[in-house]
């Protein structure tokens, strides 16, 4: 899963990566299910498990995944198991924000 995302060239970009557990959990919508996400923003999401890049601390052969049937993010499994992936990119702002300095 990790290698698939890192080797992905899609939509003119080749800097895709596998999201960490918290990033993946952040798109889960616990108010809905099957799939437990906003399908307006994330169409074609399957009601199944999606791998994260976060290794399970107690077993280095396992990783955390988020199950989008009910939005559960407390699942782990062997990294050799088949699950879906959702590739993400880190996008930096195109400009910096400045804050005014107030002098007293």
pLDDT at 100: 75
Distance (Å, rounded) from C-alpha 104 to C-alpha 77? 58
H-state helical runs in 16-71: 21-25
pLDDT at 76: 95
Predicted confidence band at 17 (pLDDT cuts at 50, 70, 90)? very high
Asked whether residue 67 is assigned to any structural domain, the reply reads yes
Asked whether residue 85 is assigned to any structural domain, the reply reads no
CB atoms within 10 A of CB 91: 8
Name the pTM for this structure.
0.81
Asked whether residue 59 is assigned to any structural domain, the reply reads yes
Q: How many residues does the chain have?
A: 104
Asked whether residue 13 is assigned to any structural domain, the reply reads yes
Cα angle 13, 88, 9; round to 5: 30
CA distances from 1 to 52, 54, 81, 95 (A): 8, 11, 10, 33
Asked whether residue 73 is assigned to any structural domain, the reply reads yes
- The gap from C-alpha 21 to its chain's centroid, in whole angstroms, comes to 7
Asked whether residue 96 is assigned to any structural domain, the reply reads no
Asked whether residue 87 is assigned to any structural domain, the reply reads no
In this predicted model, which residue has the larger pLDDT, 20 or 6? 20
Render pLDDT for 39-48 as a digit per residue (tens, 0 to 9). Answer: 999 999 999 9
Asked whether residue 54 is assigned to any structural domain, the reply reads yes
* Domain count of the fold of the chain: 1
Q: Count Cβ atoms within 10 A of the Cβ of residue 87 and give its class: 0-12 exposed, 13-18 middle, 19 or more buried.
A: middle
């Amino acid at each position: 899963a990790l290698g698939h995302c890192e080797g992905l060239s899609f939509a003119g970009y080749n800097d895709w990566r596998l999201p960490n557990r918290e990033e993946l959990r952040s798109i889960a919508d616990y108010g809905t299910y099957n799939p437990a996400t906003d399908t307006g923003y994330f169409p074609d999401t399957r009601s199944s498990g999606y791998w994260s890049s976060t290794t399970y601390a107690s077993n280095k052969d396992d990783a955390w995944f988020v199950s989008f049937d009910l939005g559960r993010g407390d699942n782990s499994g062997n990294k050799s198991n088949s699950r879906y992936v959702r590739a993400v990119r880190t996008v930096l702002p195109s400009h910096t924000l400045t804050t005014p300095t107030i002098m007293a």
